[in-house]
Structure 1
Amino acid sequence: MRNASLRTHLSHALLVIGCLLHWVVARLSELWGRDPSLWVFGARSGEAFADNAKYLYLHVASTHPEIRPVWLSKDRAAVRDLRERGYEAHHVHSPRGVYLNLRAGAVLVTHGLRDVNLWCSGGAKAVMLWHGTALKHVSWDAHFPDEPLPVRLAHGYTHRTLDLVTVTAESMVPVFASAFRIDPARIVATGYPRNDALFEPTPGAEIGIDQSVHRRVERLAAEHTVLLYLPTFRDSSESTALDVLDLPALGGLLERHDAYLLVKSHPNEAIDPDAVPSERVVPLPETADSHLLLPYADALISDYSSVVFDYLLLDRPVVFYAHDLEEYRDERGFYFEYEDVTPGPVARSSPAFLRSIERVLAGADPYADERARVRERFCHTDENRSEAVYEAAWRLLPPAPSKPADSSLASRLQRFGD
């Protein structure tokens, strides 16, 4: 507990210091200029090659030679894997990573500017790609008001620096305007780049993942019915996703229908495979890419996770297991009435959950019309969402200059970067 508290205090201090330096760099960058054709990408505080930033980065790298996309990360293995495949990537704190972050015209992230280097991003166009459709409260509507005053001021500052926020549908614009306390004009409904991977292979999507896990899922899906369980992480709970399941009864049900339940926990939660008594329940590593797994699932099981809205694009059954609905609603809260945006059976107990699963495995699907209604409200159904995001980001940037505003300073920075 003491170590967790120290980490929190350190994170808060770095955020505040990073914002102060960001303000300074934003003014100094006017001297050396930023390159509108250089874009840097990052995700999940620099810890992963993942989510919307991953898929937009791969799209830009493969289809837009006018842009120089660079991935920045704290994960040295991800940087190495990207380089081995011919992509440009650097450790976020390396001299080259710092230089490119200082020169980039655009910074594209999924969680915040600390996905790359916060202070180096001052003066760049900041594009928040985010990482889900907001069913539950986030940011200022969730935990930010409880933070210390300097931290609240820092969060407010980083949100004010956002030039563009991408969301899945027009219904999300007022939600994110509230969550980020920004002008709705800076929010655009483009859809999420990660959802393009639901319909066609994305070159490079396999980089940075354990491909043996995905090959196993592919083999299971080819021969059996596969259910995918993607529950929400709970800040206040020490239990895992499997603790709320009757595993012996569930294993027997899956056995009778020749089905498998794949369980992927939140990145902040690990599941011990040895704690699973049934071979029909398969824990997946938290680092597995959910958006490469979704197309293999015959049905999805979740609770309050926004991945449900991604899966609706595939128009397959969804089961909701909301065993702690009142508690979660009181502690976190929702932007919408939960019962109005859950197009599938909502189980509140383990027996009800098992009955819902059995009906799905038997082929019952009475919720197709409900899925269509919710999909129309929350999902961007046009093809090529990655290109829509690219075009929205490109419109933010001025034409590329023939040379930096201050060639001598830019030259010194170039030598530093090298």
Structure 2
Amino acid sequence: MQQRLRAALDRAFLVIGCLCHWVVARLPLTRDPDLWVFGTRSGQGFADNAKYLYLHVAANHPEIRAVWLSTDPEVVETLRARGYEAHHTRSLRGLRANLRAGVVCVTHGLRDVTLALSGGARAVLLWHGTPLKHISWDSHFPGEPLPVRLAHSYAHDVLDRITIPAEAMIPAFVSGLHIDPEVLAVTGYPRNDALVGSIADDDIGLDGASLRAVEALAAEHRLVLSLPTFRDSGESVFETLDTAALDELLERHDAYLLVKPHPNEPLEPGTLAGDRIRGLPERVDSHALLPLADALLTDYSSVFFDYLLLDRPVLFYAPDLDRYRAERGFYFDYDEVTPGPVARTNPELLAALDRTLGAEADGFAAERARVRERFCDTRPDRAERVFRTVRGHENKRVRRSP
């Protein structure tokens, strides 16, 4: 009952927010082109592409007043203590900044800040992945009530720029978001700058204790990081694992499996068992963990595209591949874009892990290079490229034809 109520309220707030956005966009407001506000994940946390673009702009472009908006008081307090400007999303200062900002930068949608007050600002969607599985209009949007579908359509139509990692992804974004391809900018993702370089203050927003514990493990042992995707059915891939056999294999190779569940899939107590299998809190930033991992284990999560920039082994565990393909669907042939062993059963997973952690030569380097060239932006300074794209787009408002 509570879940249905939350879903109904979420839909209502979306519709109302879009109506207010439409009104605000038509008011004679003066917006400051040098005031940029940033947010992510409906105001929760300090993470993803918005985080890294914000840090870059604040450090390298003093001509821009960069403001982080969040509903998390701890994030606001920490940023302020480090010398950054940040406000609670619904505070007077936060609302005023949102209303005056010339540019709004978000990762999931304009509700990462205050949707209602963003009308008239240049809206930049930094996105949060490389769509392998179907998204938005190719997924759950068509089943929504008509007012909600109209709101989703409006919320995408007011976007001025969407940053994406590669030209190969243009058809997926056009199909999934129902947007004009002219809105898309192939820039790469700012968060990936942190995979191959050092970013000042990127520890903000992380679970420091958990990260230090992982760093300590990485200094002494081999680590396999597990980042599975969320399943709409509510089922967990962890429920299918033979944890006893897996733990024995990991001990034999002096390795650990670190499991970071999707934010919508909290681990139930007792789901993981074993000395060599560790669950990680939801708050730990996945991108901070990637450089520490010797190998990545996933299923349908697009995080593996980012991990390819490190050129390390990737393993796939997809016991429900046929069902997932039929119910959710993919933009690309799964077998064509997964540069690593694809295990469908526990024995296959154990064998793949044994080969990866053992002395056998890496047989997927060429496959990783092929997929990386197609789907990843390997150029440096992605955050600066996004900044220049947004800055150069001033006074140009691109709209999808009705």
Q: What is the TM-score of this pair, normalised by structure 2?
A: 0.96
Q: CA deviation at 1:77?
A: 1.1
Gaps of 5+ in 1: 400-418
Q: Distance in 2 between matches of 1:286 and 1:105?
A: 33
- Please show how residues 3-402 of structure 1 align to structure 2 within 5 Å: 3-28=2-27, 31-239=28-236, 241-272=237-268, 274-364=270-360, 365-398=362-395
CA RMSD of aligned residues (A): 1.2
Contact 1:245-1:350 at 8 Å conserved across structures: yes
Q: CA deviation at 1:244?
A: 2.1
> What residue number does 1:405 align with?
none
Q: Distance in 2 between matches of 1:36 and 1:334?
A: 39
Q: Distance in 1 between matches of 2:202 and 2:280?
A: 18
Q: Distance in 2 between matches of 1:353 and 1:340?
A: 19
Contact 1:46-1:72 at 8 Å conserved across structures: yes
Contact 1:41-1:72 at 8 Å conserved across structures: yes
Contact 1:273-1:283 at 8 Å conserved across structures: no
Question: Quick check: 78-87 or 366-375, which moved more?
Answer: 78-87
Contact 1:36-1:398 at 8 Å conserved across structures: no
* 3-state SS in 2 of match to 1:127: strand
Q: Distance in 2 between matches of 1:32 and 1:309?
A: 41
Amino acid at match of 2:40: A
* 3-state SS in 2 of match to 1:27: coil
Output one character per residue of 1:243-269: Cα deviation in whole Å (capped at 9) or x when no partner.
121111011001011001110001112
* 3-state SS in 1 of match to 2:74: helix
Contact 2:239-2:271 at 8 Å conserved across structures: no
Amino acid at match of 1:33: T
Q: What is the TM-score of this pair, normalised by structure 1?
A: 0.93
Question: Quick check: 343-352 or 262-271, which moved more?
Answer: 262-271
Q: CA deviation at 1:208?
A: 1.9
Q: CA deviation at 1:72?
A: 0.6
* 3-state SS in 2 of match to 1:261: strand
Q: Distance in 2 between matches of 1:385 and 1:111?
A: 19
Q: Distance in 2 between matches of 1:273 and 1:11?
A: 29
Q: Distance in 1 between matches of 2:252 and 2:60?
A: 47
Aligned length: 395
Q: CA deviation at 1:293?
A: 0.6
Amino acid at match of 2:338: T
Q: CA deviation at 1:242?
A: 2.5
Q: Distance in 1 between matches of 2:170 and 2:272?
A: 41
Q: CA deviation at 1:148?
A: 0.3
Output one character per residue of 1:171-229: Cα deviation in whole Å (capped at 9) or x when no partner.
11121111111110110110000100101121111112211111111111111111100
Residues 1:123 and 1:375: Cα distance change in structure 2 (over 3 Å)? same
Output one character per residue of 1:368-412: Cα deviation in whole Å (capped at 9) or x when no partner.
00000000000000001111111111112259xxxxxxxxxxxxx
Contact 1:105-1:397 at 8 Å conserved across structures: no
* 3-state SS in 2 of match to 1:108: strand
Contact 1:167-1:190 at 8 Å conserved across structures: yes
Amino acid at match of 2:6: R
Amino acid at match of 2:259: V
Q: Distance in 2 between matches of 1:270 and 1:182?
A: 33
Q: CA deviation at 1:44?
A: 0.6
Amino acid at match of 2:11: H
Q: CA deviation at 1:274?
A: 5.0
Amino acid at match of 1:116: V
Output one character per residue of 1:316-361: Cα deviation in whole Å (capped at 9) or x when no partner.
1000001100111111100000000000000000110000000000
Amino acid at match of 2:117: C
Q: Distance in 1 between matches of 2:172 and 2:230?
A: 21
Contact 2:187-2:386 at 8 Å conserved across structures: yes
Q: Distance in 1 between matches of 2:111 and 2:89?
A: 10
Gaps of 5+ in 2: 397-402
Output one character per residue of 1:83-112: Cα deviation in whole Å (capped at 9) or x when no partner.
111111111111111100000000000100
Q: Distance in 2 between matches of 1:201 and 1:81?
A: 20
Amino acid at match of 1:125: R
* 3-state SS in 1 of match to 2:160: strand
> What residue number does 2:399 align with?
none
Q: Distance in 2 between matches of 1:220 and 1:162?
A: 43
